[in-house]
């Protein structure tokens, strides 16, 4: 068997419906980590779906309770071929965001995969079930091709809390470093630069969420009898927000901005082009930090968002001065930026402007930003393998615009991290109508088949 034969077998797997069946089965499990009632589904995903699949591949699986109270279960599966062989660590997450069942377009729904043209709809198709389904299938194909051997050991970590910020994952990795001794980390999540362009990235922007809230009094008061006498919290909070980020999305606090973009990162980014593909939303060129290219804004800069804002009863407004208002705020930041500066800086800023009564509360554990220099040996190895399989120049991102718990692997476990994303930007990840593209999924199977085959060519690896 050869590298080409592996790729061909994966094409058969896809074309014969094997991939559809594996993924449809996984999408049907409502493993939403954001709603407590779905918790049994997380266990079901690991116990009934992933464990048996990996057992067939000779993995021994163990499900660990999350070290953090309320955190979700974590599956660790190991396949050992030899002490002298290199070890691959891989990762996926079996949980998904809420279904938002009633918000999907007619004819499609979150928990039953449906095909329409090139699109396969379903919650988790893009994030992340489709992606780890591709990778596990590629490992299987490589093993079949080498007569039941991969040529390396594998440790796989499948968590089920990623969509709630991967609680406990860092602690778990810290406590179980021995389980995860490896030479390289390869996994898949997030989107390609665009659907057509195979992509590799070596880190991610970090994420930090916090709530700005203003609670002025108990209850609403008639806006006629009291209008003019009672401060309106919606008005005040809108003002507070407008002093942090301007009407064109520019962050106004220096403390919330990253260091200037380095030349090497700027250079890597300059080969990238975001948006402009079918299904992509139209980019707002005037939005964000002035003077940056759109690609620099996503891959090289911090962003501040209002994810949600509420005052009063928006669904049934009544004629009353509302008592409180809150805004769910959200920052994405690049490597080198310390999110722990955010709240003190915003606090000081708001106090200086008289917004002392606006409260700031961190919403959950932040995710640190990571980045691996594109000229590192493992990075070059991956770029070469993927380029051969793709037959064209691939997109190399110093980091993803989105966020991953990659600091667990890059910082805590100290592994070179290689991410090969199989989704695309307009996949409606985290929103109704989530989907993957059939064409991208088929191409992704080829890329991963080649990459996991090449990992078995031990003498060509940049092993230390």
Partner 1 sequence: MTRQHAIDAALAHFDDPEGFFEDLKARIAVPTESQNPARLPDCYAYLEEDMRPAFEAMGYACRVYDNPFDGCGPVLLAHRDEGADLTVLGYGHGDTVLGQEGQWKDNLDPWTLMKLGDKVYGRGTADNKAQHSAHLAALKAVLDARENLGFNHKFIIETGEENGSKGLKELVAREKDAFAADCYFASDGPRFDVAKPNLTLGNRGAFNFDLVLDLRAGGHHSGNWGGLLANPGIILASALATVIDVKGRILVPALLPPPITDTVKNLLTDVTRETSAGGPAIDDDWGEPGLSRAEKVYAWNTFEILAMKTGNPDNPVHAIPPKAVAHCQLRFVVGTDWENIVPNLQAHLDEQGFGMVKVQPSTGGNAAFFHAARTPPDHPWAKWVRAAVERTTGEACRMVPNSGGSICNDVFQDVLGIPFVWLPLSYTGCSQHAPNEHILWSLTREGLELVTGVYWDLGDPETAYRLERNAA
State the burial class of residue 331 (Cβ atoms within 10 Å of its Cβ: 0-12, 13-18, 19+). buried
- Stretch touching partner 1 by CB under 8 A, among 79-87, 133-141, 142-150, 229-237: 229-237
Piece in contact with partner 1 (CB under 8 A), picked from 43-51, 149-157, 218-226, 435-443? 218-226
Nearest-5° angle of CA 50, CA 123, CA 63? 25
From 45, 172, 202, 301, residue interacting with partner 1 (rule: CB under 8 A): 301
HEC assignment per residue over 344-360: HHHHHHHHHCCCCCCEE
State the Cα–Cα distance between residues 446 and 4, nearest whole angstrom: 9
**Do residues 153 and 85 make contact, with C-beta atoms less than 8 angstroms apart?**
yes
Residue with tokens 């989530």: 434
Binding mask 237-256 for partner 1 (x = CB under 8 A): xxx-xx--xxxxx-------
DSSP structure string for 25-89: HHHTS--BSSSGGGHHHHHHIIIIIIHHHHHHTT-EEEEEPPSSTTPPPEEEEEE---TTS-EEE
**Taking the complex as a whole, how short is the minimal distance between the CB of residue 401 and partner 1, in angstroms?**
5
Question: Is residue 169 a contact residue for partner 1 (CB under 8 A)?
Answer: no
Binding residue for partner 1 (CB under 8 A) from 227, 336, 352, 414?
227
User: By CB under 8 A, is residue 318 in contact with partner 1?
Assistant: yes
Q: Rank residues 155 and 397 by Cβ distance to partner 1 and give the closer one.
A: 397
We find the least distance from the C-beta atom of residue 161 to partner 1, in angstroms, to be 14
Check residue 264 for interaction with partner 1 (CB under 8 A). Answer: no
What residues form DSSP beta bridges with 191? 423
Using the rule CB under 8 A, is 388 a contact of partner 1? no
Binding to partner 1 (CB under 8 A) within 105-144 occurs at: none
Q: Tell me the site size for partner 1, rule CB under 8 A.
A: 91
In degrees and rounded to multiples of 5, residue 264 shows phi and psi of -65, -40
Q: Stretches 88-96, 114-122, 294-302, 450-458: which one binds partner 1 (CB under 8 A)? A: 294-302
Q: How far apart are CA 193 and CA 199, in angstroms?
A: 6
Which C-beta is closer to partner 1: that of 234 or that of 450? 234
Alpha-helical (H) ranges within 261-337 are 263-270, 294-299
Nearest distance in Å: CB 222, partner 1 = 5
CA 373 – CA 353 distance, rounded (Å):
41
Q: Indicate the residue among 41 and 296 with the shorter CB distance to partner 1.
A: 296
Q: Which of 16, 80, 82, 226 binds partner 1 (CB under 8 A)?
A: 226
Q: Of 14 and 299, which has the nearer Cβ to partner 1?
A: 299
Q: Does 197 bind partner 1 (CB under 8 A)?
A: no
Among 88, 182, 230, 396, contact with partner 1 (rule: CB under 8 A)? 230
């Amino acid at each position: 068997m050869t590298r080409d034969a592996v790729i061909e077998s994966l094409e058969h797997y896809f074309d014969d419906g094997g991939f559809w069946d594996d993924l449809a089965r996984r999408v049907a499990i409502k493993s939403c980590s954001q709603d407590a009632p779905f918790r049994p589904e997380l266990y079901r995903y690991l116990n009934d779906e992933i464990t048996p699949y990996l057992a067939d591949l000779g993995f021994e699986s163990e499900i660990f309770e999350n070290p953090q109270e309320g955190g979700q279960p974590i599956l660790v599966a190991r396949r050992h071929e030899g002490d002298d062989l290199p070890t691959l660590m891989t990762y996926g997450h079996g949980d998904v965001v809420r279904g938002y069942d009633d918000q999907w377009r007619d004819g499609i729904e979150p928990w039953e995969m449906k095909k329409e043209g090139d699109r396969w709809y379903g919650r988790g198709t893009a994030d992340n079930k489709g992606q780890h389904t591709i990778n596990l299938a590629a490992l299987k194909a490589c093993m079949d091709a080498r007569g039941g051997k991969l040529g390396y050991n594998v440790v796989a970590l499948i968590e089920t809390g990623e969509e709630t910020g991967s609680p406990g994952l860092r602690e778990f990795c810290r406590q179980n470093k021995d389980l995860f001794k490896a030479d390289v980390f390869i996994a898949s999540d997030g989107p390609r630069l665009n659907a057509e362009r195979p992509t590799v990235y070596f880190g991610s922007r970090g994420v930090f969420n916090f709530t700005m809230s203003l609670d002025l009094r108990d209850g609403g008061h008639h806006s006629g009898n009291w209008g003019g006498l009672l401060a309106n919290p919606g008005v005040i909070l809108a003002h507070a927000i407008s002093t942090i980020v301007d009407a064109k999305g520019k962050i106004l606090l220096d403390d919330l901005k990253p260091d200037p973009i380095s030349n090497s990162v700027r250079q890597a980014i300059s080969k990238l082009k975001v948006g402009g593909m079918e299904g992509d939303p139209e980019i707002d060129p005037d939005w964000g930090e002035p003077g940056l290219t759109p690609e620099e804004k996503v891959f090289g800069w911090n962003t501040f968002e209002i994810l949600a804002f509420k005052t009063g009863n928006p669904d049934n407004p009544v004629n009353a001065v509302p008592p409180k208002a809150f805004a769910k705020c959200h920052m994405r930041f690049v490597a080198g930026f310390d999110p722990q500066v955010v709240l003190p800086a915003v606090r000081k800023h708001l106090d200086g402007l008289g917004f002392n009564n606006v409260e700031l509360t961190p919403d959950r554990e932040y995710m640190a930003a990571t980045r691996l220099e594109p000229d590192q040996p493992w990075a070059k190895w991956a770029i070469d393998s993927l380029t051969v399989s793709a037959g064209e120049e691939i997109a190399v991102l110093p980091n993803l615009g989105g966020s991953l718990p990659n600091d667990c692997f890059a910082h805590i476990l100290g592994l070179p991290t290689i991410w090969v994303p199989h989704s695309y930007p307009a996949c409606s990840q985290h929103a109704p109508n989530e989907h993957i593209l059939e064409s991208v999924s088929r191409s992704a199977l080829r890329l991963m088949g080649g990459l996991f085959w090449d990992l078995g060519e031990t003498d060509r690896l940049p092993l230390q």
